[in-house]
Chains A and B, each alone.
Chain A
Amino acid sequence: MSMAIFSPKIPSLTPSPSQSHGKTHVSFKLYLPLRPTRKLRFDLLVSSDNGSGVAATIPDETPVSSEETVGSNGSPPPPLTAKDPVAEPVKLVGGESSFEDPRWVGGTWDLKQFAKDGKTDWDAVIDAEVKRRKWMEDNPQSSSNENPVVFDTSIIPWWAWMKRFHLPEAELLNGRAAMIGFFMAYFVDSLTGVGLVDQMSNFFCKTLLFVAVAGVLLIRKNEDIETIKKLLEETTFYDKQWQATWQDETPSSPGK
């Protein structure tokens, strides 16, 4: 009976101390560091009441506080209570599913739930949005008016994007450019005897430098060469199709 009473957080002072003692012993250890001040207060209260109930009351109070700590924190440390089955991200019930995530509230990400050390953890927001988009792509959902999606990626500040995406790539490209630069400078020097400072004032060398920088920036993978060629053709393709009627005597479908 006391077990049942334990869960609804109403402390009972008396029966079956052995069982409850065992249980509370565990929780006592776990939550002690979290709420030391609370425990102290309870100690004072308890000790002032009655000496016989000291051993029972202290364990009584800590499960209460542990319950409350779980309730108020609501954060990732595994809750020992029945909250587990509810916090599942995705319910797959034959096409009727929708994107479920405790941090996805009202059609957008609840930034308060991404707090880390008092500041928003933007990397986690980006990760969450990536997962959501991936899930949406794999499971296209009906767009409903009752639960509209209003998330806008521009709420994530520019420096978060920079740190995560731009800087690693910039490091890579700068590294490539530095390697190319060093070896080209050495190579040209060994061939022509022109030192680095004199190379910089030479027009041909400056052109080579420009080509090298442009190459490093534009061609990041082998496929990029083909892609750039296709893009260049694409920019003028539509114009050619429109001009086709003015190339009168060449009906060999130039604009197909």
Chain B
Amino acid sequence: MASIALKTFVGLRQSTPENNAIVLSKPIATTTLPYRRLRVNASKSSPRVTGRNLRVAVVGGGPAGGAAAETLAKGGIETFLIERKLDNCKPCGGAIPLCMVGEFDLPLDIIDRRVTKMKMISPSNVAVDIGQTLKPHEYIGMVRREVLDAYLRDRASDAGATVINGLFLKMDLPQSKNAPYVLHYTDYNAKTGSAGEKKTMEVDAVIGADGANSRVAKGINAGDYDYAIAFQERIKISDEKMKYYENLAEMYVGEDVSPDFYGWVFPKCDHVAVGTGTVTHKGDIKKFQLATRLRARDKIEGGRIIRVEAHPIPEHPRPKRVLDRVALVGDAAGYVTKCSGEGIYFAAKSGRMCAEAIVEGSENGKRMVEESDLRVYLEKWDKTYWPTYKVLDILQKVFYRSNPAKEAFVEMCADEYVQKMTFDSYLYKRVVPGNPLEDLKLAVNTIGSLVRANALRKEMEKLSV
């Protein structure tokens, strides 16, 4: 990681060494040897913020924004959380891993359901049950986003953050070094009716947590990313059929359901969410949704569709995630994993990590922060979660490529070792090395499955000719 530290310094503004020169009189913990100044301790030489604490605005009140605002407020920073719709019922799978409950001290009543079984269904309807390796206390939590988001926001507010119900419009970048950012937003709090009142706010740093269509990202020209469209229908089915989904979620793979993703049936509080997604064939999403409903027909027959929703899912991080004193977190930064499309945990964790970096870099709000402090968050994030993202990317590339690959995928899921590794890495967000002998067996079995499935596919093509 030392190489990355060097790289980051290469990109830093030329003004940093000047800053060091100005405040040389202040006792610095490090020596004054030139190469030592290249370390991230540059923040310690930032000017003090006099008369007030550091002001930070968090734009967007989802899991990322809520977690960031709470950590900032607890760290003694004056925090403003701007959210446009406080009761937003977001279209989302709603799955959170077990570690999130512990790390974020979530109360257990937020979790509607505990999923302990999953069924993977291949293109030729081979069904495999996974979850036998789960211990009794392990589960995947299904939450309602409006409940989770509201809880995190309330906790931030209790910690001292100011929650503003408003719509972020645009942001004026500072013209001089330590000048504030000017945020323009429409405040819905005031009693001027639904139109809201245009206001401005001056802050020292901004955390962009406003999701896939982030305006903060546009404001700093962060660049675009490829995204998938996830389309979901909430279907209310009979209680009897609902019992099957008591603690079971289903995943359907196949070219009919999605060429590069999967279709799902996830249980929610009293209904199921049936959906699918795709990156490459967005125009055919309705067709894929019909195919998903067909595949699950026996189990959702007679249900009523109570809601139809769609949302974009980023496929990879934006080219720029930090600029000056603006940082992006969560979906705005593009922290959604491939293969599973998981984003809630990573949003909340990145929000918290970014806030921690700001708290540390500003010494609890006493000093101004710099881009280098925000890059500390990026470095820590990349180092901690890069293996997870890369492994999921490889899995997606290998197993979502074609129908034979998806058949092999489902066949592999029947193996107990695979299930154990999958759940361990999903629930606790760590890539465990595992037993090397078993890994070798797994590799051999994977190759075998792929070879067999592809061989069958070649024969199928001969049939159609």
Asked whether A150 is an interface residue with its Cβ less than 8 Å from the other chain, the reply is yes
Asked whether B386 is an interface residue with its Cβ less than 8 Å from the other chain, the reply is yes
B366 to chain A minimum Cβ distance, whole angstroms, is 27
Asked whether A183 is an interface residue with its Cβ less than 8 Å from the other chain, the reply is no
A248 to chain B minimum Cβ distance, whole angstroms, is 3
A89 to chain B minimum Cβ distance, whole angstroms, is 14
The interface residues of chain A lying within 8 Å CB-to-CB of B397 are 234
For B221, give the chain A residue with the smallest CB separation: A251
- Inter-chain contact A137/B316, CB cutoff 8 Å: no
- Inter-chain contact B318/A145, CB cutoff 8 Å: no
For B448, give the chain A residue with the smallest CB separation: A154
Q: Which of B15-23, B145-153, B420-428, B457-465 contacts A (4 or more CB under 8 A)?
A: B457-465
Asked whether A247 is an interface residue with its Cβ less than 8 Å from the other chain, the reply is yes
Asked whether A112 is an interface residue with its Cβ less than 8 Å from the other chain, the reply is no
A131-B463 contact in complex given A242-B386, A248-B11, C-beta closer than 8 Å: yes
- Inter-chain contact B121/A133, CB cutoff 8 Å: no
- Those of A117-171 within 8 Å (CB) of chain B: 126-127, 129-134, 136-137, 140-146, 148-154, 156, 158, 161, 164-165
The complex places the Cα of A166 from the Cα of B255 at a distance, in Å, of 26
- Those of B185-241 within 8 Å (CB) of chain A: 221, 223-226
The interface residues of chain B lying within 8 Å CB-to-CB of A248 are 8, 10-12, 320
Asked whether A186 is an interface residue with its Cβ less than 8 Å from the other chain, the reply is no
For A255, give the chain B residue with the smallest CB separation: B319
Asked whether A254 is an interface residue with its Cβ less than 8 Å from the other chain, the reply is yes
- Inter-chain contact A161/B411, CB cutoff 8 Å: no
Count how many chain A residues have C-beta atoms less than 8 Å from C-beta atoms of the other chain: 45
Asked whether B429 is an interface residue with its Cβ less than 8 Å from the other chain, the reply is no
- Inter-chain contact A245/B318, CB cutoff 8 Å: yes
- Inter-chain contact B11/A242, CB cutoff 8 Å: no
The interface residues of chain B lying within 8 Å CB-to-CB of A245 are 317-322, 378
The complex places the Cα of A132 from the Cα of B226 at a distance, in Å, of 36
Select which of B11, B389, B414, B463 is within 8 A of A249 by beta carbon: B11
The complex places the Cα of A133 from the Cα of B294 at a distance, in Å, of 17
For A156, give the chain B residue with the smallest CB separation: B452
Asked whether A221 is an interface residue with its Cβ less than 8 Å from the other chain, the reply is no
The complex places the Cα of A248 from the Cα of B11 at a distance, in Å, of 5
Asked whether A244 is an interface residue with its Cβ less than 8 Å from the other chain, the reply is yes
B343 to chain A minimum Cβ distance, whole angstroms, is 16
The complex places the Cα of A145 from the Cα of B121 at a distance, in Å, of 11
Asked whether B184 is an interface residue with its Cβ less than 8 Å from the other chain, the reply is no
The interface residues of chain B lying within 8 Å CB-to-CB of A254 are 319
- Inter-chain contact B319/A253, CB cutoff 8 Å: yes
The interface residues of chain B lying within 8 Å CB-to-CB of A249 are 11
The complex places the Cα of A256 from the Cα of B124 at a distance, in Å, of 35
For B298, give the chain A residue with the smallest CB separation: A144
- Inter-chain contact B464/A134, CB cutoff 8 Å: yes
- Inter-chain contact B298/A137, CB cutoff 8 Å: no
Per CB-CB distance, the 3 closest pairs between chain A and chain B, nearest first, are A248-B11, A142-B297, A244-B319
Q: A149-B126, A244-B223, A248-B12 are in contact. List 11 more A-B contacts (CB 8 A).
A: A130-B463, A133-B124, A133-B407, A143-B298, A151-B126, A152-B411, A153-B411, A242-B316, A242-B389, A248-B11, A255-B316
Question: A residues engaging B (CB < 8 A)?
Answer: 126-127, 129-134, 136-137, 140-146, 148-154, 156, 158, 161, 164-165, 234, 238-239, 241-242, 244-249, 251, 253-256
Can you list 11 A-B contacts (CB < 8 A)?
A: A126-B456, A133-B457, A136-B124, A137-B403, A143-B295, A149-B124, A154-B445, A251-B223, A253-B223, A256-B226, A256-B319
